[in-house]
Structures are given as structure tokens and as C-alpha cells.
Amino acid sequence: MTFDPRVYFTLRSSDSEPVLVEHELPGIALGGRLPFETPTVTIDRSEGVPTSAYAELGLSTDADLAEVEHAYRDRVIDVHPDHGGDHAEFKQVQDAYDAAKEHAS
């Protein structure tokens, strides 16, 4: 495998069978372009649900990414230190947003 087209064409004239791949492109997106099958990957997000993060944002654990972002924007207005909020509470809301966003995406 190579990311460099020049190396690909050099290897192509040898006994090796090169595969040219695009940089940072996940294998699942290559699909039919590969000479072999790619496995179907499913991600189980039911484990490790950050319930406290969702509670901090006032959401249920089945909220989608758009709801998480909206709740974060609403919540951060109340706790931001520039608007008279507490820095520790602001950090807690940021951490909750990071955890909930990762789970929801």
C-alpha cells in the first residue's frame, strides 16, 4: 500500500501488487474500489453512556448531536465567566458537552 502515486507506478512495474490509497480515507469508504471485501462495522454506543453529562446539559441520553449542541449553547450562556458565571461550573459544562457530543455523534 502506498499514499504516493509515484511510488505506486514504480511498484506496479515490479512483481509486487500495489494498492494506491487516499490519505486519511477510512477503508469502509473505499468500498468497491478495493480488490477485497471490507467488513461491515457497527458501533455499539449503548455501553458507557455518559448519563451525568446529559443530565448536566438537561437532556435525555437518546438526544442527537444537534440537540446536544443546542443544549450546550443555551447552558453556556448561563455559566460563562464573562457573563458572571463560575469558572468551575463553566468547565463542568464544557466537559459534559465533550462527553455527550462524542456519544451522540
63 pLDDT above the threshold of 70? yes
Average of per-residue pLDDT across 18-40: 58
Predicted local distance difference test score (pLDDT) of residue 51: 84
pTM of the model: 0.54
Binning pLDDT at 50, 70 and 90, where does residue 35 land?
low
Contact 57, 99 (CB under 8 A): no
Pick the CATH number of 51-104 from 2.60.120.260, 1.10.10.10, 3.60.15.10, 1.10.287.110: 1.10.287.110
Of 80, 46, 75, 79, nearest to 59 by C-alpha is 75
When pLDDT is averaged across residues 51-68 and rounded to a whole number, the result is 88
The 3-state DSSP class for residue 86 equals coil
pLDDT given at position 50: 76
Spell out the domain ranges in the chain.
1-41, 51-104
